[in-house]
Amino acid sequence: DGGITQSPKYLFRKEGQNVTLSCEQNLNHDAMYWYRQDPGQGLRLIYYSQIVNDFQKGDIAEGYSVSREKKESFPLTVTSAQKNPTAFYLCASSNKGSAGELFFGEGSRLTVL
């Protein structure tokens, strides 16, 4: 079935460690997104990519990095520079030009110990 796969679903990290969250889609969508979700703050955009080898910062990009080497993959690295990384991270993709709705993965919950 077509969809978006995020892994791992749960991740624990010690302070000072970098972690990478995986996001893979088999929908042949051009655009991919990473959002962070915190209680009471909704979804905040970290990075998004419209095409391969290109990506743009969202509203809270500091402390995060991404790559888009393949159309189907958009991994997110949470670096040690991110001050408060504990959150629920959601990956999404969209197609049909800029009017397309987003399709979301099931999310990855990161906890910093």
Partner 1 sequence: AQSVAQPEDQVNVAEGNPLTVKCTYSVSGNPYLFWYVQYPNRGLQFLLKYITGDNLVKGSYGFEAEFNKSQTSFHLKKPSALVSDSALYFCAVRDATGGFKTIFGAGTRLFVKA
Are the CB atoms for 19 and 30 separated by under 8 Å?
Answer: no
Q: Is 31 in the site for partner 1 (CB under 8 A)?
A: yes
Q: Is 1 in the site for partner 1 (CB under 8 A)?
A: no
Q: What is the smallest separation between the CB atom of 15 and partner 1, expressed in angstroms?
A: 24
| Angle subtended at Cα 76 by Cα 49 and Cα 93, rounded to the nearest 5 degrees | 40
77 Cβ contact list (under 8 Å, min separation 6): 18, 19, 20, 21, 64, 65, 66
Closest CA to 104 of 92, 113, 89: 92
Q: Is 35 in the site for partner 1 (CB under 8 A)?
A: yes
From candidates 41, 53, 62, 70, binder to partner 1 by CB under 8 A: 41
Are the CB atoms for 32 and 25 separated by under 8 Å?
Answer: yes
Q: Is 33 in the site for partner 1 (CB under 8 A)?
A: yes
Q: What is the smallest separation between the CB atom of 41 and partner 1, expressed in angstroms?
A: 6
Q: Is 63 in the site for partner 1 (CB under 8 A)?
A: no
Give the footprint of partner 1 on this chain (CB under 8 A).
4, 31, 33, 35, 40-45, 48, 50, 56, 58-59, 88, 90, 92, 94, 98-99, 101-107, 109
